[in-house]
Amino acid sequence: MDDGYIDPSRAAFDLFKSLPRDVPINMLNLLKFNLAANYPASHPNASQQWSGERAYQEYGKTSGPIFARVGGGIIWRGHMEAMVIGPEARYWDSAFIAYYPNSAAFLEMVTDPEYQSAVINRQAAVQTSRLIRFNPLETNGSEFA
């Protein structure tokens, strides 16, 4: 498994920032959790002996108000049942699409000091992840192209 995709690289974040900031965006999140949360020894939650999933729940609880304040919301959430196309060994514990009114809202969230404190829970929770920005397109719900 290709572990270690937890935080964006500098190049990926710079690319994100170079894209239009005044249009709505959707962010596809694919997450594989650690069996046990991996906190730094000095962090207060290190003694909790939480699972990665439990640490991610804490991340949601602590970052959720900031996410809402910038106008974000979850527009889809699902539970993976089977890999139909892709590597059979790949399994995601959580998948969802987050909506932001614009990328400036996302940047406001991730630079917020309270978010910076909350994100340690995500970092402790996640073994590997994908965060993919999409420009939402209009659709009538039945077309592929």
Please report the pLDDT score of residue 143 as a whole number. Answer: 66
- CA nearest 125: which of 71, 66, 61? 61
Instruction: Look at residue 140 and tell me if it is in a domain.
Output: no
Is residue 49 situated within a structural domain? yes
80 against 141, higher pLDDT: 80
Q: How many domains does the chain have?
A: 1
pLDDT at 144 (0 to 100):
64
Question: 108 in a domain, yes or no?
Answer: yes
Please say if the pLDDT value at position 25 is more than 90.
yes
Q: Using CA atoms, how far apart are residues 33 and 56, in angstroms rounded to an integer?
A: 8
Query: Residue 32 domain-assigned?
Result: yes
Identify the band that residue 137 occupies on the pLDDT scale cut at 50, 70 and 90. confident
113 occurs within a structural domain: yes
The CATH number for 78's domain is 3.30.70.100
Question: What confidence score (pLDDT) does residue 140 get?
Answer: 75
pTM for the model stands at 0.91
Kindly give, in sequence order, each residue whose CB lies less than 8 Å from that of residue 143, ignoring residues fewer than 6 positions away: none
Residue range of the domain that includes 35: 10-134
- The DSSP annotation for the chain comes to ------S--HHHHHHHHHS-SSS-EEEEEEEEE-SS----TTSGGGGG---HHHHHHHHHHHHHHHHHHTT-EEEEEE-----SSS-TT---SEEEEEEESSHHHHHHHHHSHHHHHHHHHHHHHEEEEEEEEE------SS---
Length of the chain: 145
Residues 73-132: tens digit of each pLDDT? 999 999 999 999 998 888 999 999 999 999 999 999 999 999 999 999 999 999 999 999
Domain membership flag for residue 141: no
For residues 49 and 140, is the Cβ–Cβ distance under 8 A?
Answer: no
Asked if the structure places residue 144 within a domain, the reply is: no
